[in-house]
Amino acid sequence: MNARDAGRLVRLALDPRVTAARDAEYAQLIGTYLADLEFRAEVDAYASGQGLLVLDASPMQLVLSVTDPDSPFAFRRQAGRPGTYSYDERVGAGLIHVAIVCLAYPTARDLVSDRTPRLSVLQVDRRLRAAATAREDGQIADRPSEQPELERAWALYARQPQTHDISDKRAYMRGSLRWVGREFEWLEDHALARRETDEDGGRYRLTRRHRVLASQLAVPAGTRALLDLSEAPA
| 51-86 tens-digit pLDDT | 899 999 999 889 998 887 677 777 665 544 444 567
Structure confidence at residue 222 as a pLDDT band (50, 70, 90): low
Q: Which has more confidence, 145 or 43?
A: 43
pLDDT band at 34 (very low <50, low <70, confident <90, very high): very high
Cβ neighbours around 218 below 10 Å, total: 6
- 71 or 229, higher pLDDT: 71
| Domain regions of the chain by residue span | 3-66, 87-229
Nearest to 63 by CA among 3, 9, 1: 9
Confidence band of 172 (pLDDT split at 50, 70, 90)? very low
Q: Select from 153, 180, 152 the least CA-distant residue to 164.
A: 180
